[in-house]
Amino acid sequence: MTHTGSHKIVTRTLLALAAVVGIMGSVLFVAQAASLTSMTLTLSDSEPGATATYDFAWTGSTSAKQGVRLEFCQEASGSCTLPAGDFDSTSASLVSGTFFDAGGWAVDASGNGVIDLSSSVADSQGAITVGISGIVNTGTTSTTEPIVFYVRITTYSDESLTTPLDGESVVASAVIPVISVTGTQDAILQMTVAGATGTVDNSSKSVTGTATATALPFGNFVPLGITSPTPSSRALAQTINVVTNGVTGYTASVQGEANAMTRSGGSETIGYVASDVEWVEGIGGTAGFGVSAEGGHAPASFDTDTNSALEYEPISSSLVIASNSAPTNGADTTVIFRVQVDATTPAGDYSGSVNYTVLPNF
């Protein structure tokens, strides 16, 4: 009976030990199988075959860790095939991270497709971000379809990467060929000419007739040398507007004939004013035909005086009356045509012509 009782005691003891061992084994298995969460992988350049920085982020165990293994595969699980094409991780190096940085952790990228990170000093942070540069993406520059790849991540409690802490977890990403985007912008040049009303010459002169896009009808002159009515010049104006996508804008010019106007049926003419003339009205005033411009894209050279009066120019040769040094959606420039004659000018109808030219700078 004594033998039998002893046997029962031994049997119970062994069963109890077996139960304890079973519990311990279960606890150890759960710790080894722990996985990462909130995993992301962002590539600085997702073009196939490009060299990029890989920014990893995950949340894992807060236990002390001294190692991480990153394994690049074509498959999410099972056997691991190295990503295809130009993929190469042997030049990988650390660039940033809240978990560790290049100053505290070593990188072993000697095995292509596997990057081991290790440190002699343990870290217990749970939320991790890691930046690794120098990785050549899977695929090639001639790849035409997106390629998905996977990185299997395991953390270790030791520097030699032998004791897993967070079991293997997988994050996925993809390289995507550059999408070619094309389009054509045609050359644009639009110019409008219209008659203008109101005041001109910095508001010191009212127009004396109605111009159109194709006509400058000055009407009857009121010449110098008479006493009544008071001599005054005739002024008409047009508004020009240029739209262009010329890289360095445009230049618009105006030019008349050799003489501004010629008498119908005769050879008598009305000539041009001298260069840089500030118009003077009344007895002893300015005589001739002159052109000026203001507002919009008018050159500043027309308004360089201190008396708020514009300068008028002859147009026996081409005269720039508007310009812009960049592409433009247009601005209204007022071009002023002004004429005055002397009382000795032979009676008759006088006419001439002017012509605009616009040069876009593509």
Q: Say which residue, 160 or 31, is predicted with more confidence.
A: 160
Write down the pLDDT at residue 308.
83
Write down the pLDDT at residue 200.
96
Write down the pLDDT at residue 304.
82
Write down the pLDDT at residue 32.
35
Q: 188 in helix, strand or coil?
A: coil
Nearest to 235 by CA among 350, 338, 310, 314: 338
- Quote the tokens at residue 13: 């003891």
What global pTM score does this model have?
0.66
**Band of pLDDT at residue 31, cut at 50, 70 and 90:** very low
Query: In Å, how far are 207, 295, 310 from 203, measured between CA atoms?
Result: 10, 12, 10
Indicate if the pLDDT at residue 103 is higher than 70: no
Angle at 144 between CA 141 and CA 130, to 5 degrees: 60
Indicate if the pLDDT at residue 21 is higher than 80: no
**Band of pLDDT at residue 294, cut at 50, 70 and 90:** very high
Q: What is the pLDDT of residues 104-137, one digit of tens each?
A: 889 999 999 999 999 998 888 889 999 999 999 9
What is the topology classification, in CATH, of domain 34-175? Answer: Immunoglobulin-like (2.60.40)
Indicate if the pLDDT at residue 42 is higher than 50: yes
Query: In Å, how far are 192, 293, 303, 307, 321 from 299, measured between CA atoms?
Result: 18, 8, 8, 17, 6
**Band of pLDDT at residue 3, cut at 50, 70 and 90:** very low
Instruction: Report the C-alpha gap between 172 and 20 in whole angstroms.
Output: 40
Q: Helix count (H) and strand count (E) of the chain?
A: 1, 23
Indicate if the pLDDT at residue 14 is higher than 90: no
**Residue 302 CB neighbours (<10 A):** 22
Residue spans of the domains in the chain: they are 34-175, 189-360
Q: Say which residue, 191 or 24, is predicted with more confidence.
A: 191
Q: Say which residue, 172 or 307, is predicted with more confidence.
A: 172
